[in-house]
C-alpha cells in the first residue's frame, strides 16, 4: 500500500498569488472545460478568500475560493492530482474559513459530474439542473 500523497492547502491572496491561481483555473476551466475566458475572471476575485494547494515540492496543484456571501466556487485541481484528496482538502479548508467568519452555511453551484463529491461532504442539492458557462450545474448547500 502506498502512503497518501503529500500536499498542503494554504491561504492565498489574489494580489500575491495571482499567477498560480490564474494558471490553475486557466488550465482546468478555460483549456480543459472550454469555459470562455471572459466568464472565468470576475470582480469577486480580489476580495474572495482563496485556497491554494501545493505538492511536497511547492508546485501549485489546486485552488478554490470563498466569497463574502458564503458561496464556494472555482475549485480546480490539476488532472494528475484528482481523486487523491486534494479537492476534498480544498473544500474542507474553505468550509473551515466560512465557519471562522461566523457563517452558518455555505452554498455552491456543482457541476453535475461532481454532485456525488459534494454530497459526500454533506451538501444537499436544490432545484433543477441549469447551465452555467456552458456546463450543467445544480445548486447545493451545506448548513451547520
Q: Binning pLDDT at 50, 70 and 90, where does residue 5 land?
A: confident
How far is 63 from 90, CA to CA, in rounded Å?
7
Q: Quote the mean pLDDT of the chain.
A: 96
Please name the residue that has the C-alpha cell 483549456: 31
Query: Homologous superfamily of 7-103 in CATH?
Result: Gcn5-related N-acetyltransferase (GNAT) (3.40.630.30)
Residue 134 has pLDDT above 70, yes or no: yes
Mean pLDDT, to the nearest integer, of 44-71? 97
**Distances from the Cα of 54 to the Cαs of 10, 46, 58, 97, in angstroms?**
8, 21, 5, 18
111: exposed, middle or buried (Cβ count in 10 Å: 0-12, 13-18, 19+): middle
Proportion of the chain above pLDDT 70, given as a percent: 97
What are the structural domain ranges in the chain?
Answer: 7-103
How far is 121 from 107, CA to CA, in rounded Å?
12
**pLDDT on residue 103:** 96
Residue 47 has pLDDT above 70, yes or no: yes
Amino acid at each position: 500500500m502506498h502512503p497518501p500523497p503529500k500536499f498542503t492547502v494554504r491561504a492565498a491572496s489574489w494580489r500575491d498569488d495571482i499567477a498560480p491561481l490564474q494558471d490553475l483555473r486557466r488550465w482546468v476551466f478555460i483549456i480543459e472545460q472550454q469555459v470562455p475566458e471572459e466568464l472565468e475572471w470576475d470582480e469577486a476575485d480580489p476580495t474572495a478568500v482563496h485556497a491554494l494547494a501545493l505538492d511536497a515540492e511547492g508546485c501549485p496543484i489546486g485552488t478554490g475560493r470563498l466569497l463574502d456571501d458564503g458561496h464556494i466556487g472555482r475549485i480546480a485541481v490539476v488532472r494528475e492530482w484528482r481523486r487523491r484528496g486534494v479537492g476534498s482538502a480544498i473544500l474542507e479548508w474553505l468550509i473551515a474559513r466560512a465557519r471562522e467568519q461566523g457563517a452558518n452555511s455555505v452554498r455552491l453551484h456543482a457541476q453535475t459530474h461532481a454532485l456525488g463529491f459534494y454530497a459526500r461532504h454533506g451538501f444537499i442539492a436544490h432545484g433543477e439542473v441549469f447551465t452555467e458557462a456552458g456546463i450543467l450545474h445544480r445548486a447545493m448547500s451545506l448548513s451547520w
